[in-house]
Amino acid sequence: MLEIRDLFKSYENKPLLRGISFSVSQGETICLLGASGSGKSTLLRMIAGLEFPESGQILFNKIDLAQTPPHARDFGLVFQDYGLFPHLNIFDNIAFGLKMKALESSSLLLGMSRQQAVGLQSRVAEMLELVNLQGFEKRKVTDLSGGEQQRVALARALAPSPRLLMFDEPLGALDKSLKEDLLNQIRAILHKTKIPAIYVTHDQDEAFTIADRILFLHDGEIIRDGMPDEVWTNPKSAWAARMLGMGNVIEGRMQKAEGRRWKVKTSFGVFNVKCEHKHSVDEKVSLLLKQSPSPVFGRGARGEGDEIKLKVEDVLFKQDQLQVKLRGGLVIHLKEAPKVGQIIRVKVQVECLA
Ligand code: ADP
Ligand code: MG
């Protein structure tokens, strides 16, 4: 369906996006996860045709869109700030794209026929039902809550049956419970309509809820592209691990190799780590410390994996678990609360992030 090939973009001679390539297939939702300022919105604007790449191609069904103006691309966009027309009521907001489409095919030049008007009304009603806002046609935009406005924006984007939907941090302005609700609704609608979608966010929770595939945008490049479970079990880079909220990323220095296993010196001790990548002695690396499924604290805890012994600095309640902060910035999760100041031993699995 959508194919992005080797896209480059810079602003004021500073490269922002470098060699971006990916594709989105029918019915697929991909999520582009990147920090603020990483170029996510710029990338969406280029796909929408509102901005131009310096080089590279954007194709849809194998047709290059370089000469296709934004409205003719048939792509729907949903923004963080909703982007509704405040002077139009809900009906006219949702009907807007449909009318534009009819105008283009010049079927509206002589005014709308009765049949067209009825068609428009039923399409708007259908869209409002899809986003759970039945009967909202006559309401004013300003009378709606943020969550409702975003659902109208979604209905407006869906109304002309776009070939692709793009979401630019659509939940950024909403509070947590509303976010979850709307995210689940978007997910259900995308599954139902099977419209391919690109969802842009800096929030890993959102990414994992909505995505069939997650792409990490960092330093102008896509550094990881995979299914949510693949990405979660093997983030492959320190940046991706941190972006996923895996806090236990530590620095180390390579000491000695035995086959593919390296002894890595860190401020938490020396770990014996199996690495996929090529390394040299003295090289600096990032390691991910994963807490073993059943951490043991107290004396005499020994077993598989490596062990660390650290002082407890703080204990916080997090849903059904306790979040235990250890000296040196490590965080683990336990069912039983240790005492602050207590030394605990935790078994960890150590992975090399290169
Ligand atoms: P994101 O959506 O990931 O937060 P953006 O695509 O909005 O990132 O912006 C990425 C960078 O490009 C920012 O540093 C921004 O200042 C810069 N930028 C965006 N648009 C322009 C523009 N029209 N002119 C100059 N710089 C821009
Ligand atoms: Mg943005």
Does 298 score more than 70 pLDDT? no
CB of 338 closer than 8 Å to CB of 327: no
Please write the tens of the pLDDT for every residue from 213-237.
Answer: 999 999 999 999 999 999 998 888 8
Nearest CA to ligand 1 atom 16: 37
**Whether the CB of 80 sits within 6 Å of ligand 1:** no
Q: Is 11 in the pocket of ligand 1 (CB under 6 A)?
A: yes
Give the type of residue at 228.
P
- Residue 295: its pLDDT value, please? 57
Mean pLDDT of 235-259: 88
What pLDDT score was predicted for residue 196? Answer: 97
Mean pLDDT, rounded, for 44-53: 96
Which tokens hold the place of 240? Answer: 């991706």
Please choose from 10, 31, 40, 42 the residue to mutate so as to test ligand 1's pocket, defined by most ligand atoms within 8 A of CB: 42
- The reply to whether ligand 1 has any atom less than 6 angstroms from the CB of 209 is no
Mean pLDDT value of segment 318-336:
86
Q: Which amino acid, one-letter code, is at 91?
A: F
pLDDT bracket for residue 300 (50, 70, 90): very low
Tell me the pLDDT tens digit for each residue of 190-199: 999 999 999 9
> Does the CB atom of residue 37 touch ligand 1 within 6 A?
yes
Contacts (Cβ under 8 Å, ≥6 apart) of 23: 1, 2, 3, 4
Cα 172 from chain centre: 12
Ligand number nearest CA of 219 is 1
Q: Which ligand is nearest to the CA of 218?
A: 1
140 DSSP 8-state letter: B
| Closest residue by Cα to residue 93 from 161, 140, 144 | 140
Mean pLDDT within 289-299: 67
Residue 42 CB less than 6 A away from ligand 1: yes
- Please, which pLDDT band fits residue 301 given cuts at 50, 70 and 90? very low
98 burial level (CB within 10 Å; 0-12, 13-18, 19+): buried
- With the CA atoms of 32, 38, 39 and 44 taken in that order, what torsion angle do they form, in degrees rounded to the nearest 10? 20
Q: Is the CB of 39 under 6 A from ligand 1?
A: yes
Which ligand 1 atom sits nearest the alpha carbon of residue 44?
A: 6
pLDDT of residue 320 exceeding 90, the answer is no
pLDDT per position as a tens digit, 252-285: 999 999 888 999 999 888 998 988 888 999 999 9
Q: What is the gyration radius of the CA atoms in the chain, in angstroms?
A: 25
Considering only CA atoms, which of 36, 52, 48, 20 is closest in space to residue 169?
36
Query: Which of 7, 16, 202 to probe ligand 1 with, by most ligand atoms within 8 A of CB?
Result: 16
Buried b (16+ CB within 10 A) or exposed e, 317-331: eeeeebebbbeeebb
Q: Residue 305: which region, alpha, beta or left (left: phi > 0; alpha: psi -120 to 50)? A: left
* pLDDT value at residue 218: 95
Least reliable range by pLDDT among 42-56, 136-150, 260-274: 260-274
**171: pLDDT confidence band, cut at 50, 70 and 90?**
very high
Domains along the chain with CATH numbers: 2-240 (3.40.50.300), 247-352 (no CATH)
